[in-house]
Chains A and B, each alone.
Chain A
């Protein structure tokens, strides 16, 4: 009966999981098209009737030149737009292209800075130093060598901006998270918060009496990875637990800054050492394997960012007969950890493990995480609805870049 329920749950989850995929594909397609045409990356090709008198059309210059500073950059970029020459729109191939000429506003020395093909109605000047005034002329050319210049554009200068308005949703998100962090720490004591079973098992393993030092690996990523910081936080909590039960720890580290942090943590635990091995993952894996196979090991804990070497590390522990607990934020390594370790902390559970084991932090961390995930759920469900109902405004709230 239980097996049946599990199968039903799995099938339902797969079907539900497919829905956002199809919604997003449709949304991404629709958005992509609208954004691409909005910023005009495609050339403009006007529909024309068959013109028999193409060669007799008077050659006219482009007009309605708009020149402005490119927004949301560090300066140095000017954008130009214009209405195409009538001969280009109607002349069926008479216009061979355009030249962009530029001069400083105080002088009249125009130089050619770009050559564009026919049908082009925009140009981005990426060599316009900030705070220098420029003016532009667009020269229309024909295959027979004739040309005509447009009127001089308005004077424009580039400048750097101090803020990207597209990033307002990110600021809102940071403010909301900070606010939630603030209020969850001040919530009154409630009923016991649920602790992940895997985290509870991890704590129970660590406090069991050990005759050999517990081996700990804070991943193979650098200290700038969040997973490494989460691993060090977890290590601190495990050290507190082990101190009460007289267990020792041996930490094997591949990153030098993580080594400094680990050394400082272990000052609190007697007969425990941190070893810096190598930032090279292959070398670290082999040194770790050698240690695991030449010394008796009861328990090995591997927590943090790991790449392909995760299987090398866990297989070494498996061959040594150690009880292995692993956790990583690297999604692609999770199957290897599941097949070689007795206990695996997947993804976010690694980040929650340290706070959940700390005496004062677990309530706040768990509640904060719960609330953040609920908000994410609501936003995702609204997104699915929005994709189906055509709420482009809602989807655009989450577009934070140049697209």
Chain B
């Protein structure tokens, strides 16, 4: 019997980081080694650190956590000759609403991520790494621990990685339920045993990160993309995507579609094709109303804005983001007031309270949206929501304030008619 996956793969996928997912025993080192495992590490061991970083730059890989920062450039910021030891931190705090891909990478192919971490270790001369996994993913902490134990037992972690004399230690670290800890500096505070609140930048983590040591921090999917890049060359990976948007990425499609799932698609894949063909279209023949392109923090797109290729630059051009790859599809029946309220309840709950514009802003936005939803809205609330949100933008340590404000601004501006419906209903009642 074939392996039971979370969702059926689509023939339209380009499976690079997910190519081993369907293999029986894909989580074991033996299956990994039999299917291209550690070819990239051995190749990287023969390369200079500069050449490794150059290859990653060539690949056009951009951070898969949400911000989309060019990975090779990030690696080049880590001072490999610093007298302080370098640390690698893997962000497995996947919490952005709409996003459920890192789970699969750790469950189905943990050794690919480990190999990517080891290559990063060669590039920045680091010898220790911590996988920060959200507390809710306990079964994945166990799965990663098993993979790490197996790698130690068979000589792929520890004093002599793959017999090459390279030393590297890797550990898991459990979070305890806090969206904010997905923000890199808050994650570092959490890793140090503190409340996860963001730090002032600079200094950036590359210079002073975990325990004030130079720290290379990337998302699970970013590390998982490294072995194929080194093995087949950065140019080959880049060619899968569009210029400056290299490779493939895992797109998590959820909401009103017939076949929700996580699919690996090349950058630049048409959004409408992803909805209608990969995810099987909208149930009941209903019309598309809107799409959240990359997790709840991204400004929402109206249906008529969705006829675009999915890459970082195109999404930026239409005023949104590709974010973390969490694509949420909304059909014509969706009540945008209710949707905006649920988003804001989330941010108000998750604001760490460190910066006042975020702490107070999210709370007030939630109250106003709640009032509206309960039929107590006022016409001036519509502009007040926009005004309050805009006052939060850029006035906080981390991006959570913007993450709460941006979708709200877009919903209020693009779906004013949904708010009007509430006002009209109230008038009838009066």
The answer to whether A and B assemble together is no
Residues on A facing B (Cβ under 8 Å): none
Residues on B facing A (Cβ under 8 Å): none
